[in-house]
Structure formats: structure tokens, C-alpha cells
Amino acid sequence: MSKRLTTTAGAPVSHNDTSKTAGPRGPVMLDDYQLIEKLAHQNRERIPERVVHAKGWGAQGTFTVTHDISQYTTAKIFSKVGNTCEILSRWSTVAGELGAADAERDVRGFSVKFYTEEGNWDVVGNNTPIFFIRDAFKFPDFIRTQKRHPKSNLRSPEAMFDFWAGHPESVHQVTILMSDRGIPVNPMHMHGYGSHTYSMWNADGSRVWVKFHFRNQQGIKNYMNDEAESLIAKTRESYQEDLFGAIEAGDFPKWELNIQVMNEEDAEKQDFNPFDLTKVWPHDEFPLIPVGMLEFNKNPDNYFQMVENAAYSPSNKIPGIGFSPDKMLQARVFSYADAHRYRLGTHYESLPANAPKVPVHHYHKDGAMNFNGPSTGHPEAYYEPNQYEASAKADPSVSEPPLKISGDADKYVVEMEDADYVQPRKLYAEVIGDDERSRLHMTMAGAMAPCSTPVRERWFEVLGKVHPGYEAGVRGALSEIDNA
């Protein structure tokens, strides 16, 4: 039996097809409140798209702890093998708008929300272990180069390579982006990384630095340029089609969560900055330690509610997991939550996708769309400290151990040094094979082709510092394109 259609206020609706008019051919009456409500709501159906990561795909599932890491962290989710919690993930392109094609060459966002018994824990990363820059002061400038030019309203390779040439630490990430790994077949066939350096501490208060790795269990698969171009000509929604279709068919994608662990004293001995987001930790020195398995087994019943409204932020952490001196992470702790307040509203964490599965008690007050009422544990306790025993109080037992810091507060300029070229040099010369190197040369040359000669030369100087063969290979490929 069908249900009765109502207004948003619950009143029954008599007609849902035609406007109220003065006679069958007359003008529309202003008192047709149902018409006004439908039009007004439609005008407000779209919320601002994300500044980055606008185009995304998501799924719900379960995380299960498979290995004991309680020697590193007091987080209750990791206290016992077999512990589980619900999870919500969103994967995304970085630069493209909401209508961008899924199979474009781009970095992919990889975010997971763990609904733990101690609150929500978010890991907000990418499908690469590094990023283009190490200091968030340049993040707005970087993102502007990835978006549309203010005059042409087109993407600008000139701006991209000009910025990258001015920040040579970006060559590591650009190399990955232009390599065979630049276009994953779909979310199920790429790894994920927390990318940043985080911290964990155990019951003794001992801290270690950690990196989070999500190793996909389906195998790595990527598209070559021609394959991606042919696919985009047929569909712009290939990731959503693949992900949604696989889960509907019962083919549930899985990722194994691993961590790398570095002791505080070891961090002081590295010949690179372990808190620099443009650097990886060597696996031979800091091997992957398995932790648990993520299985995504449910497509959200409402995509907008659970995927578009999903708000991930590294500020969502739980006792036993903390931050590090990573400059990009420190800034993202603020900027991500603030972006959600702007895009979704003051009380964005009350939305179903973001609401924790545990009781919430805080002293935030009022604001638009506050439909929860008092949450402090006592109706009279709207401030703190107060006289009411039942009201929410801080728990010193979950305090983080002190973080050792040293040095004078200043804006330090990191001198360009060979450390920025060591890891991309190894990636280019030792990890990537001959055939992939040739494709890397051609892909990068194609991306550089619209650039001016000065920008080309600035970028060639960077490539030459990585490896002379890198510069020569891209120069040769670009010459072929120019003379074609």
C-alpha cells in the first residue's frame, strides 16, 4: 500500500502534478505554497562542492583487527584481535570538478572513517604515499594551479609546471602521477595511504611515529593513456559503475591495514625528514606490520546522505593515536574541519554519515540546524566548570604524552638540497622499468607540450637533478611532439 504524500511539515498533499491557476488558462496563484516549496527547495538542493576531491565514490563496510599492535597504542579498537567496527570510505579525484571523468589522470583521495567505541577516527589520505608540497602555506597556491585559469577558464599546464618547477620537492609526486600508476582502473585496484606521519602511544606513555598503508587485495591495475581516453569517450562514471556494481554483485573489495613504525630516537638519525610529506619511509628499514582487514560490503542507500555529506578530517582521532610535526598534517587538522563547517554547516558531525556510534557530550551551543538539543549530560549545564555532577567532564586518563619540541619559532626556509631528489631518483632509475620509463617520458612530455619555453626549461632543470636520463628522455619525447 502506498504512503500518503505530505509537505515537509507533515500535512497531506492533494495534488502533485499541476500548479494552482486562475482558471485553466489563467496565471499561477502566489498562494500555491506547494509549488513555491518545490521550487525553493530545488534552488537549494546543491551544496557547495568540495574545493578539492569534488568527484567521489563511497561505500560502507566493516574493519576487523587481525594482528595485535597493543604494544604501540592504547586505542581500544586495537586492544584485541577480532575487534570490529563499522567503516565508511570515500575515494575521489583531486583536481576535477563534480562532473569530471572518473578515469582522468590524477591523484586519488583515499579516506576512511572508523566508527570506534571511542568515537570516530578518520584517516584522510591518497593513493600515493607522498604529496606535491611539504608546507601548507603553499597549499592554496598549489590547488589554484590545478583548477581553472581565471581568464581562459581552462586547466593550465603552464601554471602547473611553473609551480612544480618552483617547488622541486614536487618531482617525486609528479613522477608517480605521470607514471603507469597515474590512472588506476577503479578504486578497488589501488592502494591507499594515510600519507602523513602520525603518532601512537602505549599504556606506558611511550610514543612511536607511524605511517598507515591500505594494501588492496584485488591487485594493482592501471589504465594506459589510450585505454583511459577510449573509456572516457564511452562513460564518465566508470569508477562509480565498477564500485557500485561489484558490491551489488557481492564481490566485496578488501584492503589490509598495515603500519610502519619508527621510534622517536630513530627519527633523529634519518638522512631525510621523516615528517616531510614529500618523502617515503624505506620499507627495508621500516617494514609493513599487518593490523587488520577492511571489507566494503554495502552500497549506501542514499549517495548524497552518506557520500557527499561524509566529512573526513585528521582532527577526528581517538586516544592512543595522535599527530606529528608534519607541517601539512598540522594545517589539515584545522582546514578540513573548517571546510566542512562552511560546506555542510556548523553541526555537520550530526549528519548520519558523520555521527559517531557512541554518546556525544560537548558544550557547543546553538547555530544553524542544531536539532540535537543539549548534549552536556545535564540540561542546566551549558557552561563548564559547573556544579552539576551529571554534566560532561574531561577525562585526564586519555591525555597524550608530551611532545618534545625544540628550536626558535620562525619561518624557516628549507634550502633546496639533494634530499629532494634522492627518492625520485631511486624511483626513476631502480623501481620503474625501461618500458614504463618510456611511457613516463611520453606522458610527461604530452602534459608539458602546451607550456612556454621558460617553464619547460625550469622543469627540465628539476628533472636533470633527479637523473640525466630523465631530462633527456622527456626532452626527446617533447621534441617528437613538437615536430609531429
Catalytic site residue from 120, 126, 186, 309 = 126
Cell of 476: 626527446
Count of Cβ atoms closer than 10 Å to residue 31 Cβ: 8
Q: Residue 431 CB: number of other CB atoms within 10 A?
A: 12
The DSSP-derived string for 81-140 is TT-EEEEEEEEEESS--TTS-TTSSS-EEEEEEEEEBTEEEEEEEESSSS-S-S-GGGHH
The C-alpha angle 35, 38, 39, rounded to 5 degrees, equals: 85
Buried b (16+ CB within 10 A) or exposed e, 57-74: bbbbbebebeeebbebbb
108-116 and 207-216: which strand pairing? Answer: unpaired
- Annotation says 167 is catalytic: no
**1 contacts: CB under 8 Å, gap ≥ 6:** none
Which grid coordinates belong to 376?
A: 552536556
- Catalytic position from the list 15, 41, 43, 53: 53
Is there a contact between 115 and 89 (Cβ–Cβ < 8 Å)? no
Can you tell me which residue has the cell 556525544?
Answer: 360
Q: Is 53 a residue of the active site?
A: yes
Residues 6+ apart with CB under 8 A from 335: 136, 139
Active-site residue set: 53, 126
